[in-house]
A and B are shown apart, each in its own frame.
Chain A
Amino acid sequence: MKRRDFLKLSQAASLAYMINGSPIRTLASNPVLELLAKQTATSGRVMVLIQLIGGNDGLNMVIPLDRYSELSAARSNILIPSTKVLALNGSTTTGLHPSMTGIRDLYDNGLMNIVQSVGYPDPNFSHFRATDIWMSGSDSNQFINTGWLGRYLDTKYPGFPSGYPNANMPDPLAIEIGSRTSTLFQGADVNMSMSISSIDSFYNIVNGTVDPAPNTPAGHELKFIRYIKQQTEQYNNVIQKAASLAQNKSPLWPASGNRLADQLKIVSRLIAGGLKTPIYIVNLGGFDTHSQQTDATDTTIGNHANLLGWISEAVAAFFDDCKLLDTHERVAAMTFSEFGRRIKANASGGTDHGTTQPLMVFGDGVNPGIIGKSPTLPANASTGDNLPMQHDYRTVYSAILADWFQVDTNTMNQILMKNYQIQPVFKKTIDVADTSEYGSDDILGQNYPNPFTKETTITFGSEGGLTTIQLFDVNGRLVNNVLQKEMSRGKHQITINRNGLPPGQYFYKLTNGRNKSTKRLVIAD
């Protein structure tokens, strides 16, 4: 297969075939599975990134109860009283800031994963540079002018923007709301994202209105150009259509005043309205809390508490909305900031720029729980002390690429420029322990030859329509999208090239409408 074709095939991220660890076969009549099967043909997974601008104080958000005395010593002036810390179901070591009841509920319901102490070696303390590092996926001393998601989209949608939109991808590859983040979606040649500059401009698009202009010749022409611009901007029509097909449903959405919720309301509508856009980024500013991080007399309220409350309220409403709109199975979200903050509070009732931070990942697809331990704190932290790194941020990016978007290993290594460990943030998409899932040979025949060294042929049946065959390694990781194509009804054959895969045992899986079948094959030298 040519690399280009290969990349094209890799575009088609498949869906969660497995729910809560149960093998698919037993779920054949489950309505959730039917929904998923439907979605396989029409849409894919979505990742919503929530950027917390300014450097979020992770220690007051995800609170290490098992390090509470060190924490008290370091930041008594902003310390959250242990009695007020929200307990997490099943955890004695970790709690949440008292304003985050909505997120606490997500955790307790098994819809959240926390990755502790995420950062990178030789951390940078500048907002700009640190943001660029997180956006580009670079090392601290490495300058990369493309974004990690720009590179991902480059491999998934080669050649963009030439030939786009098209029938396979009629929608924006990525949508940024509220702000244009400079490098995240920068591909090798172009920025791959559509930017909706403000909440107002989104509603202008949806309603076909433009900002008011004076009743003068200049205003007359300005309005004319704005209309033409709005109506001809490449993706405005699909945005308008998607927004018209779905309304927000959750009663949890705050009435007003929560900027993050306002953005996530839009995202939820667009996902439910059928946009195939796989990535969204929204943001909330104000985390640069050098002073007055908390109220002077009550440390559970104040600036940082408000911010965390907004996140909690917005994220909880968002996932409730997704549930009510039946999109929750395929939506995940993750918070991140350019850095965490210092262990020791300063005398202004705030914290200065720090290093690592906890990441919060949400959604039905995440492995519930906490990855890593509470950060180690010195007994008496000094001003210069920082949180040591437990997890490189790119090990989380790997999880998003490999386990959420099902990017094959080689492509992922190219995107991240190194081979990173994959944090178990997400559930596996195929249960390789389940060898009982052998379907009829009419649906999926045994490959021949087997074992093989160079190439092998698979016979399979299709009822017509979208038919996919994927190859997984023994760890359940997708290694090759063998086929993703509209097929006619009947018997077909496809030949797989080894494509440099190491010898060993693999699984190949066919999906066609409700038919699914998995068989084992062996590659030998």
Chain B
Amino acid sequence: MGKVNRREFFEEFIANKAQQTGTTSLAEDPIYNKYANKERPRGLAKTTGTLSKYTGQWTENEVTHLLRRTMFGVTYEDVVAFKGKTMEQCVDELLSTQAKPYPPLNNYQTSTYTDPTGVLLDQPWVNAPYGDSTVNSKRRLSMTSWWIEQMLNQKRNITEKMVFFWHNHFATEYIVVAYAHMMYNHHNILRDNAMGNFKKMVRDITTDPAMLRYLNGYLNTKTAPDENYARELFELFTLGKNYKPIYTEDDIKAAAKILTGWRYRTSDWSSYFSSGLHETSNKKFSSFFGGVTINGRTGTDGAKETDDLIDLIFTKQEVAKFIVRKLYRYFVYYDVDFNTELNIIIPLAQQFMNSNWEIKPVLETLLKSDHFYDMLSQDCFIRTPVDYVIGTFRTFDIQLPVSWNSDNRYKIYNYLRYYMGLLGCEPNLPPNVAGWPAFYQEPDFYEKWINSTTMPRRMEFMDLMLGSGFSAGTGTAIKIDPMHLAKKLPSPGAGDPNALIDFYVDLLLGIGISKTLKDQLKISNLLQGQSQDYYWTTAWGTYLGQPNTTNTNLVKSRLVSLLTELTHLAEHNLC
């Protein structure tokens, strides 16, 4: 078993962190600071809708809202499929259980490099031994690429958005976790429990080798208890902290003692309990926890104290409220006002506890509620970098060549990982254990995604994808084919410039635009400054009839110009 090269990890860490913008640079961004919330937004018309089941109209508007909030971007096919169903059928489909994806592959074999543990190209490495730090580094990138592939290829299902939710919640950085196998196994806890039982997930995470490494649990020992994990378990993973009365510092110390003794193995990537390292004394908790004592246990039974601790935490309704609020902010809006607390958070938290911490029923209630579909709940979510990048691929239906093996595919995914980092959110590399501040930090929350650095980069991403595209070393430029999406428009077809603009606007913009602006976009882009629609209709018809270079480029250049303007609109960043 080789040794992890810490220095190499550290260098990679610095390189990647320097590109991320979501956190550190904002303090020095005067434009951001001028316009972002300095306090909770006041005086806005807010929904007073409740959790009662939504019975209103089920049109493209509601369908698109549901799809955008539960998936990354929206596709034409998804809208069509859901328009033909009822609201309840749609939500049920989104919440259905997904088959576990095939694991990440050896994408890293080259003419000069082969996997030292014998894994062949396009074969999974997850059951192979560690190897050495070089192959481990390659596998870590492979793992994130694989994850991005799952996002790109998501079915009509909420799973990928929930996996990302839990990744942000139980945040770990691949740089610190270090072992590719641990990253993958940690990821599977999030994926397996994405809509499952929250209490079970917390228990799994508590002794997950990746988390033991990330928050020093593996160093936690009776002679020198390490409070790192215990503190985050309370503050970030379950109870939260903005309320009174609250747990005490002594409670954290007691929890840290309970958690002494957990270690991991790199032979089979499991964790185990080492009773000799466990603090066996009784642990007394404050009045917040009813003054209970968790009795110390000896030998292998010491591990059961961890279950006792989880049981104790899950007696508290604060856990339910904390998680439900976070889900609300992830799916609806960040500003939880009095009505929302009363009508949504408290009843959903009650349901969460009543269902013994099952996640799916809570999501179902929220996503089928009047509150969720209220017009005032729509279009107010600022798309995350992941949503922006993956959504662009999905909405424009950008497909990689089917003949490609994982070598080429992962090169493209790795480029997307890099670009998400440029936009402030690289998967597997959150700023710290709290996740990305855009998901939790008052009072600006996801306004943080849009700042002096990231706003131009978002537009540059669209310029890139509408222009030359990128090949990331594959030799093939991956880019938007503007005609491909336009051709999907059913009767009257893309030859009708008004229908085409409506079609694009519905798929690309989170909030609609005025008829005046649509007309302006139509005239300046599709009609070449003319007023008669038939100039575009003719050009499109000519292209369909004879798609030679001249006819193709005639419509393509105009579509690119239209799509550039549309995707540069502020509205393209909302959903």
* Residues on A facing B (Cβ under 8 Å): 51, 53-54, 126-129, 131-132, 143, 145, 178-180, 182-183, 186, 189-190, 195, 197-198, 214-222, 224-229, 231-234, 283, 285-286, 288
Contacts and interface: CB of A to CB of B under 8 A. Distances in A.
B496 to A, nearest CB: 17
B529 interface: yes
Contact of A220 (B41, B467, B532, B535): B41
A226 B379 contact: no
14 contacts: A53-B528, A53-B529, A179-B523, A182-B561, A186-B557, A220-B380, A222-B379, A224-B35, A224-B36, A225-B382, A225-B450, A226-B570, A228-B455, A288-B531
Interface of B: 31-32, 34-37, 41, 43-46, 333, 335, 376-382, 447, 450-452, 455-456, 463, 467-468, 510-511, 520, 523-525, 528-532, 535, 539, 549-550, 553-554, 557-558, 560-561, 564-565, 568, 570-571, 573-574
B565 A217 contact: no
B467 A128 contact: no
Given A180-B564, A189-B468, A286-B531, 19 more contacts: A51-B529, A53-B528, A129-B550, A178-B524, A186-B557, A198-B520, A214-B45, A217-B41, A217-B46, A218-B511, A218-B574, A220-B380, A221-B447, A224-B36, A224-B447, A228-B32, A228-B35, A229-B450, A285-B530
A232 B452 contact: yes
A218 B557 contact: no
A129 B554 contact: yes
B44 A217 contact: yes
Contact of A229 (B382, B455, B561, B574): B455
B333 A131 contact: no
Contacts of B467: 189-190
A288 B524 CA distance: 15
Nearest to B464: A190
B454 to A, nearest CB: 9
Contacts of B557: 132, 145, 182-183, 186
Contacts of A195: 565
A127 B535 CA distance: 8
A180 B553 contact: no
B535 A128 contact: yes
A143 B549 contact: yes
A215 B43 contact: yes
A234 B45 CA distance: 34
A413 to B, nearest CB: 24
Given A218-B511, A221-B574, A231 B529 contact: no
A127 B528 contact: yes
- Which of A216, A231, A233, A234 is packed against the most chain B CB atoms within 10 Å? A216
Contacts of B510: 218
Contacts of A218: 376, 378-380, 510-511, 574
Nearest to A179: B524
Given A143-B550, A182-B557, A228-B452, A217 B376 contact: yes
Contacts of A198: 520
A237 to B, nearest CB: 10
A180 B525 contact: yes
B44 A220 contact: yes
Contacts, number: 134
A216 B335 CA distance: 12
B376 A232 contact: no
Nearest to A144: B553
A133 to B, nearest CB: 10
B564 A228 contact: no
Contacts of A214: 45
Contact of B574 (A132, A225, A286): A225
A128 B511 contact: no
Contacts of B528: 53, 127-128, 131
Contacts of A178: 524
Contacts of A285: 523, 529-531
Contact of A222 (B529, B561, B570): B570
B451 A228 contact: yes
Q: Which 10 A-B pairs have the closest CB atoms?
A: A53-B529, A217-B380, A218-B379, A179-B524, A225-B570, A218-B380, A227-B35, A182-B557, A285-B529, A226-B570
B553 A143 contact: yes
Contacts of B37: 224
A180 B455 contact: no
A139 to B, nearest CB: 12
B31 A231 contact: yes
Contacts of A219: 44
Nearest to A189: B468
A227 B573 CA distance: 13
Contacts of A51: 529
Contacts of A283: 529
- Which of B41, B46, B335, B557 is packed against the most chain A CB atoms within 10 Å? B557
A406 B295 CA distance: 89
Contacts of B558: 128, 182
A162 to B, nearest CB: 11
Contacts of A233: 456
A229 B382 CA distance: 14
Given A128-B528, A128-B539, A197-B565, A221 B382 contact: yes
Contacts of B447: 221, 224
A216 B43 contact: no
- Which of B32, B539, B568, B570 is packed against the most chain A CB atoms within 10 Å? B570
B140 to A, nearest CB: 30
A231 B35 contact: yes
Contact of A228 (B31, B379, B511): B31
B452 A221 contact: no
A54 B452 contact: no
Given A220-B380, A221-B382, A225-B574, A54 B561 contact: no
Given A217-B380, A218-B378, A232-B455, A179 B529 contact: yes
Contacts of A288: 530-532
B175 to A, nearest CB: 29
B520 A221 contact: no
A182 B335 CA distance: 42
Contacts of B574: 218, 221-222, 225
A228 B561 CA distance: 22
B530 A53 contact: yes
Contacts of A127: 528, 530, 535
